[in-house]
Structure formats: C-alpha cells, structure tokens
Amino acid sequence: MDSKSERKRLRTRWRTQDTELSLLALPTTIWYVLFCFLPMFGLIIAFKDFKIYGGFLSNVIHSDWSGFKNFEFLFKSNDAWVVIRNTLGYNFIFILLGILVPVTLALMVGQLHSRKAGKVYQTMMFLPYFLSWVVVSAVIWAFLSFDKGIANQFLADLGHDPINWYMEEKYWPYFLVFMNLWKGLGYGMVVYLATITGIDNTYYEAAVIDGASKWQQTKFITLPLMKMVIVMMFILSVGRIFYTDFGLFFQVPRDSNSLFNVTTTVDVLVYKQLKTATVGMASASAFVQSVLGCVTILIANWVVRKVDPDSAMM
Amino acid sequence: MKKTMKHLLVLSTAALLTTALAACGSSSNSNTSNNTAATNGASSNQSTNANANKPADGDIPTLVWWTIGGQIPANFDKAIAAMNAYTAEKIGVKVDVKVASWGDWDTKINTIVNTGEPFDIMFTNNGKYNQQVNMGAFADLTDLVQSESPDLYNLIPQKVWDGTKVGGKIYSVPTYKDSSLTQYWVFNDSYVQKYKIDTASIKSLKDLDKPFHDMKAGEGKSFYPLSLTQGDGFNGFFNNFDDMTLGLPPIGVKVDDASRKVVSVLENQDVMDGLKLLHKWYQDGIVNPDAPTKTEADKARPFFAAQAFPGAEATWQINEGVAKYDMFPVFGPIYTTSTIQGSLNAISANSKYKKEALKYLQLVNTDPKLRNMLAFGEPGVDFNNVDGEKVVERTTDTWPLAAYTQGTFFDLAVTKGAPVDQWEQVRKLNDQAISSTSLGFALDISKVGTEVANTKAVWDKYRYELMTGASDPEKMVPKILSELKAAGMDTIMKAAQEQIDNYFK
C-alpha cells in the first residue's frame, strides 16, 4: 500500500472554478460556523450546575458538573411525553402534506402554458411566507376572538352559539396544520418548480410523438426525474422532526392554558423553561432535542439507502 | 477515524479560542454610545455591545443599569443626558439606563444574568432575586453598603434590610417605599356616580357582586366591569398567604399563623370560594372573555385591584386618562419578605464599579432633584416643578420608567393632584403595618430546584384560566393539585417546613 503515490495520483489541481464555488459557499459556511457549530459548546451547560463567575465562558468552565441532574426534571415532568407526541405528530403531518401539496401544485403550475400566469400564482403563494407569525397571530385573533371576532359574528348570524375558540382544544390541530401549510406552501414549491423547469424538453417531445397523455408524461417523465429532489427534501425535513416553528406554536395560540396539550412542542417548552427554570434545564431539553434529531436523520437516511441507494445523501 | 478526531479536536480548540478572544476583544471596546447620545440626542436604545467597565470619558465611569419600563419615548436619551450631567458633577458617575419592557423583562433579565453580559445595577424582585443570588450573580454588599454609603444604610430601616437578606447577607439595595403591602380596590368615579356604588360598604369579593352586575346590566353586552389579563388575574387574590419568596401561590403560610404551618393554599376554603365567585363572574360576562389570553391591560378600566398607597390615583388618572378614580383599601398594610422584595436594585458580582454603583444608589435615595428626574423624565418637558422639588406637575404620559423600581419614595416629589402629605401617609402605613409571622424568612430552593421548576411549570399551565375565572375551580383544582403533587409539591412543602422551623427556633 503506497498511499503517498496513490494520493498524488488522485490529487487534481485546484481550478478557478473551485475558487469561485468556495467563495459562493463562504457566507453560508460562516453562518453555519457562527450559529450552528460554535453554540454547540453550550451543550456542556446541560451537564453543569450553572453559576455566575464572570463572563459567559468562565461561567461555563467554572460551574460544577452535575451529571444528568438537569435531565431529571425533563423526564420527571408529566408533560414530557405530551410535548414529544405533539412535536413528532405535527411534524409527521407537516412533512407528509409539505411534500404532497407543493409537489402537486408545482406540477400544476408547471403545466401552465402562460409562463406569466405561473409566475403570478407562484408569487401569490409565496407571499404568506414573508409575514411574521406575530402578525399572523393578530389576524387570526381578529377572526377567532370571542366577543369581537368575525367567526363568532358569523355563527351568531346563523343562529349558533359563539365558541370560545382559544379554550377549545379540538379545533386547534386542524388550525395549526392549515396555517403551517398556508405559510410554507410557496416556499416549498420553489425547489420543485425549479426541478420541473430544468427537465429537458426533448423528453416530452419524444413522449408526445409516442402519444403519451399529460398524465402519462407526468407519471413517467416528470415524477421520476423529481424523485431525487423529493427524497432529499424528505430527509432534510425528517432531520428537523424534533424542531418546530416556534412562532406558529407559541404566538398563534396566544399561550392559552386550555390549548397546552395540543400546542406545546419542544421549542415552546424550552422557551418557557428559560423563563422560569434554569439555563441548565433548558439546555438539557435542547440537548435531547438535538440528539434525537441526529438519530432520526441517520435512520431516515439509512432507510432510504436500503430502498434506493442513489437517492441517499450519505 | 483517527484523522477526523484529530481534525475535530483542532477545530474545537480553535472555536473555543475564538470565542475566548472575542470575549476579550469586546471588553476593550470603549463604550461610546452615551457620548453620542448625549451630544446629538440620538434615537433611543442603542444596544451596542456596550461594556460597563470602561470609563466613557476620562475618569467618569458610566454604569449600566438594567431596569423595567414601558415604551421608550423620543426624548429618553436627552432626559438621561440631563441626569448624567447632574450626577457627573455631583459624584462623578454617569448611568446608561437600559429598559426591558414589562412583558419581556422576565426572559431578558434571565438571559443577561446567565450569559454574563456586563451590567452594574439591575432591578429585580421577589420572583427572581432568590434564584439570582443562588447563581452568584450579585455582589455581597453586607459590609460595603455600610462603609461606602452610610447615609443609604441609615435611611432604610433595619426591618427592610433584613427582608432582603439571603443566608444572612445583603445582596441588594431595597427600595424603601410602601414596603408593606396595602391592597386597594379602585373604581372609575363616573360609574360610582351612575350606579350609586357605596364603596365604603365593600369589604370582600362578595360585596363586589352587586355593583358588577349593576354595571353589566346598565352598560350592555360588550362592557366588562372586571377587565383582567392573563399575567395578573385578580390582583392580590393570595394576599392572605406568605409565599416565602417562592413565587408559587399554591404553597404558602397564612400571614397570621403563629405556628407557621406550610399549607396547600388551593385547598383553603376561602380561596376556593373566591375562585368559585370569579368563575361565576366569568360565566355572567362580568370578566372579559379573552382574559386568559390577554397580555396588556386596557386603559381606563372601570374597576381594578392593585397594591398601592394614598395618592396613587393621581398617577393612574394621568396614565389612564380617567377624570377621577375612587380607591379604597381592602387589605393590609402588612409586611412580608415578598413585599419588601417587591423592588430591589442589585449590583453585579462582576461589576468593576461596585462602590460607584452604591454611591449612585445612595444619591438616588437621598437627592430629590435626581430622584424626580428618574421618576418623571426630562425637566421642563415631561414635568415642571411647581413647588421646588416637592411638588411637580406632569405634562406628558410617555415617561417609561416606574418610580417604584428606582429608590425611596421619601425624597420624591408629589404629583400635582395627589395629597401633599402623600409620602407621610405612606410612611404611616409602613409604621402601622403588621408583620407576617414568617417575616424575614426566605426559602432556600437550592436542594429542591427540580421540584420547584416542575411545580411552577404545572402552575403556569393552569393559572391564567384559574385566576381569571375562565375554568371551573370545582373541576380544575383537584386536577391541578394532583399534578402539583406528582411534580413534587409535597417535597417542597416538607423542605419549607423544616427550614422555617429551623429559622425561627
């Protein structure tokens, strides 16, 4: 095994292209280092009895080790499983719908003859993505407020009793799923539309000559060529299955007590802990969240590799 | 594998080093935000990574003071600059006042303490103080306050100093104000006239029933006599119990219980009756239906309950735009450890200017001119002096800082419209105040941290709806209690009982 000569033979020259691509990746890399890799050292806090000694770093270094004491609280609390159920349940539905609906719509928009109309529809669907959840929650409040809301006015006009929306658990899973879909739809479509636009037209021409219908074109050309992207998006979203959109689950239900069991997710719990409990406890929750997230992404990738090795990311 | 490990190690060391360097770097930046603000009246709240430990110009240090307040008005920096000009000359200290809004304060103050962001003085209260002292965030002032600021030490009665002690040491300067609690109920006078409400005969929650129903019947469907918010519920509901600074209402000691028995408050019959009444009001449309999710209180409420003192209505009338409020005391005055700890200003354990901070707090507590600027804003803009520094007339309602968070009331001017002897009356209240049997005792939660966090989480899940009357106490209280017990309530009560028995041995 002469590994040295082996490596020499494999080493290609650094080209201009490489420089350009590296520069292109630089901002993202810096962002990741600053906001994803550096904060990781904070995970130590989960295993410490955090005390103040000076600056933040010396606090982390000088605090005593406390083993798994901070985790105790998370698993002792009765809510742990409710919260994990919500996080996984909602995300499971979001992932499913978040692939089904945008892909379907992307296919539809891709079929449009007028490129202009397609752009208009896409922009319209994209707009909600730019609204913050705080704004959205105020708008929803205008709909669902008990005594001033449009929804209850409407019910009253129909002769029904008004409903105290913010104290009724049963409606909220549907609300949240709908709101999430409404907001993320346009954003989710972008990637799929780009893929569809990137497909070489000659495939379709050949298919049309063979007499393929629109549906057959979609089934045998578009979808197979999109598969790779869909699987990639799926793996990425599975990796974030323990993370939820904090704004959706905290702002929209307005921190209502009655809705605790259907709206509290891990992120919301961590936030509430930062308010009342200690940093160590909040870090412990975040730690569990990260580890479980990592495990799920590896499992998802492993499953995909078993089924279709070409689509797997690692 | 070996290689990657090595790479990772290199990477992580590098990362740690960068953060360390960054931390050093930030501490050599001088804090210029104040100078610019002072010279050109720049817009509010420049949150530069200001560093508290560097003189702003030459040898006059600028202390960072984190406090609580409302919306920052446009003239905020000018007002602070006027204050600084005065104090720089007087004691050679300036301050940079940073304001956390009422709603954010909880989270923000926790973050500042935890991340070790430099500050010199911080407003805190009974809900946070104990935990922060436990964490080692605050400087021990026991000796320092006597040697550096003797006037301050002598101004505040020993009883009040004792109320701030944790483990026998002083970690903050208490605000000597209405340090005893007097609970008032306040009616908007126009409704009192309209519905002939006899406030003199109102002594308990039950007596409110008739006036509320009269108001509701007369004003119509979308009028709510009792407008509540999720954070507050019915203010003062648990006054009969001393919470030992735990900040968890379901556990307490009855204020007049000579045997100092730690009890489960929700199982008390009076509390239960009160909760039932609240629930009935909620169902009858007395309470606003959105109370459990409402975060900001309405202005000009027809009725509210508040901890107050004689003459407080003058301030409310200005802030809420109401012609006249009728207020009458219903409970107290009483001293508990929590009421004394209702407003504290602590000094950071890492502050380089502990002595200067104490000097500044001493000046706040003894110098009427500075005191009024802090409480009312920019002289000539937010307020005008009517009678020297004794009586002022407020001309705006935008000043964000709350007088109770800063320093004693006894060198503060009286707002025009309040009784001139207002502060004398407050002093009398303090003198008349009875003491809770557990006064001076503060629970040490270091050994039951997990249980406290868990029980607080359970309480937070239910308190908005319970304390606004939205949920039915007959159904909910047993449920809440069983969850509290599962979360370790009994352990806390046992520990509290042991500690309290030891303390008063």
pLDDT tens-digit readout, A127-146: 999 999 999 999 999 999 88
Residue A58 lies inside a defined structural domain of this protein = no
* Average pLDDT of span A18-46: 91
Q: Where are the alpha helices (DSSP H) in B324-421?
A: 337-340, 354-366, 368-376
Residues of A in contact with B462 (CB under 8 A): 257
Residue A27 lies inside a defined structural domain of this protein = no
Give residue-wise pLDDT tens across range A200-222: 999 999 999 999 999 999 999 99
Is there a contact between A257 and B461 if contact means CB atoms under 8 Å apart? Answer: yes
Choose from B461, B462, B477 for mutation: most chain A CBs within 10 A: B461
With a cut of 80, say whether residue A123 has pLDDT above it. yes
pLDDT value of position B21: 39
* Average pLDDT of span A306-313: 79
Residue A258 lies inside a defined structural domain of this protein = yes
Residues of B in contact with A274 (CB under 8 A): 107, 110-111
Is there a contact between B292 and A167 if contact means CB atoms under 8 Å apart? Answer: yes
Instruction: Pick B107's closest partner by Cβ from A57, A254, A275.
Output: A275
| Interchain contact B490–A (C-beta under 8 A) | no
Provide residues of A within 8 Å CB-CB of chain B. Answer: 33, 37-38, 41, 50-59, 69, 72-73, 76-79, 145-148, 164, 166-167, 254-258, 260, 271-279, 281
Token representation of residue B346: 């602590």
Q: What is the mean pLDDT of chain B?
A: 86
Cα first-last separation, chain B: 63
Residue A51 lies inside a defined structural domain of this protein = no
Residue A108 lies inside a defined structural domain of this protein = yes
Residues of A in contact with B288 (CB under 8 A): 147
How many other C-beta atoms are found inside a 10 Å radius of the C-beta of residue A264?
22
pLDDT value of position B42: 33
pLDDT value of position A2: 56
A7 min Cα distance to partner chain B (Å): 15
- 3-class secondary structure, B253: strand
Instruction: Pick A77's closest partner by Cβ from B20, B116, B454.
Output: B454
Grade residue A5 by pLDDT with cuts at 50, 70 and 90: low
Transcribe B3-56 into DSSP letters: HHHHHHHHHHHHHHHHHHHHHHHHTTS---HHHHHHHH-PPS-------TTS-S
Which position has the higher pLDDT, A73 or B436? B436
Residue A16 lies inside a defined structural domain of this protein = no
Is there a contact between A147 and B115 if contact means CB atoms under 8 Å apart? Answer: no
pLDDT value of position B498: 96
pLDDT value of position A276: 73
Please identify among residues 412-451 of chain B the ones whose CB lies closer than 8 Å to any CB of chain A: 449-450
pLDDT value of position B201: 93
Spatial distance between the Cα atoms of A292 and B322, rounded to a whole number of angstroms: 55
The secondary structure of residue B343, as a DSSP letter, is: S
Is there a contact between B292 and A274 if contact means CB atoms under 8 Å apart? Answer: no
Residues of B in contact with A259 (CB under 8 A): none
Spatial distance between the Cα atoms of B195 and B208, rounded to a whole number of angstroms: 13
pLDDT value of position B263: 96
Is there a contact between B450 and A72 if contact means CB atoms under 8 Å apart? Answer: yes
Distance of CA A21 to the CA centre of its chain: 27
Is there a contact between A55 and B461 if contact means CB atoms under 8 Å apart? Answer: no
Q: Which residue of B has its CA nearest to A166?
A: B293
Give residue-wise pLDDT tens across range A261-283: 999 999 998 888 777 777 888 88
Please identify among residues 104-123 of chain B the ones whose CB lies closer than 8 Å to any CB of chain A: 106-107, 110-111, 113-117
Spatial distance between the Cα atoms of B240 and B437, rounded to a whole number of angstroms: 12
- Residues of chain B scoring pLDDT < 50: 1, 8-56
pLDDT value of position B28: 32
Q: Which residue of A has its CA nearest to B449?
A: A277
pLDDT value of position B56: 46
If you count residue pairs, one on A and one on B, with CB atoms under 8 Å apart, how many are there?
120
pLDDT value of position B92: 94
The secondary structure of residue B401, as a DSSP letter, is: B
Token representation of residue B213: 């129903």
Choose from B171, B290, B467 for mutation: most chain A CBs within 10 A: B290
Grade residue A179 by pLDDT with cuts at 50, 70 and 90: very high
Give residue-wise pLDDT tens across range A97-116: 999 999 999 999 988 888 89
Is there a contact between B456 and A276 if contact means CB atoms under 8 Å apart? Answer: yes
Spatial distance between the Cα atoms of A106 and A192, rounded to a whole number of angstroms: 6
pLDDT value of position A3: 61
Q: How many CA atoms lie within 13 A of B61 on its CB side?
A: 19
pLDDT value of position B39: 32
Is there a contact between A54 and B464 if contact means CB atoms under 8 Å apart? Answer: no
Cβ neighbors of A263 (< 8 A, separation 6 or more) are A86, A172, A176, A249, A252, A253, A256
Q: Which residue has the tokens 């026991």?
A: B142
A33 min Cα distance to partner chain B (Å): 9
Cβ neighbors of B198 (< 8 A, separation 6 or more) are none
Please identify among residues 51-90 of chain B the ones whose CB lies closer than 8 Å to any CB of chain A: none
Is there a contact between B19 and A38 if contact means CB atoms under 8 Å apart? Answer: yes
Query: What percent of chain A is modeled with pLDDT above 90?
Result: 50
Is there a contact between B454 and A73 if contact means CB atoms under 8 Å apart? Answer: yes
The tally of domains found in chain A comes to 1
Domains of chain B: 62-177+342-411 (3.40.190.10), 181-339+438-504 (3.40.190.10)
Is there a contact between A41 and B464 if contact means CB atoms under 8 Å apart? Answer: no
Q: Which residue of A has its CA nearest to B24?
A: A55
CB B227 within 8 A of CB B288: yes
Residue A19 lies inside a defined structural domain of this protein = no
pLDDT value of position A308: 79
Q: How many CA atoms lie within 13 A of A4 on its CB side?
A: 0
Residue A33 lies inside a defined structural domain of this protein = no
Give residue-wise pLDDT tens across range A232-249: 888 888 878 999 999 999
Q: Which residue of B has its CA nearest to A162?
A: B289
Token representation of residue A232: 């990639």
Q: What is the mean pLDDT of chain A?
A: 88
What is the residue range of A76's domain?
70-307
A255 min Cα distance to partner chain B (Å): 7
Is there a contact between A52 and B116 if contact means CB atoms under 8 Å apart? Answer: yes
pLDDT value of position B5: 52
pLDDT value of position A9: 58
CATH number at residue A97: 1.10.3720.10
A125 min Cα distance to partner chain B (Å): 30
Cβ neighbors of A222 (< 8 A, separation 6 or more) are A107, A110, A196, A199
Residues of A in contact with B106 (CB under 8 A): 275
- 3-class secondary structure, B119: coil
Is there a contact between B461 and A79 if contact means CB atoms under 8 Å apart? Answer: yes
The secondary structure of residue A85, as a DSSP letter, is: H
CB A83 within 8 A of CB A265: yes
Transcribe A224-248 into DSSP letters: HHHHHHHHHHHHHHHHTTT---HII
Please identify among residues 212-271 of chain B the ones whose CB lies closer than 8 Å to any CB of chain A: 222, 230
CB B33 within 8 A of CB B94: no
With a cut of 50, say whether residue A299 has pLDDT above it. yes
Which residues share a beta bridge with B138?
A: B348
CA angle (A129, A135, A136) in 5-degree steps: 65
Q: What are phi and psi of A152, to 5 degrees?
A: -70, -30
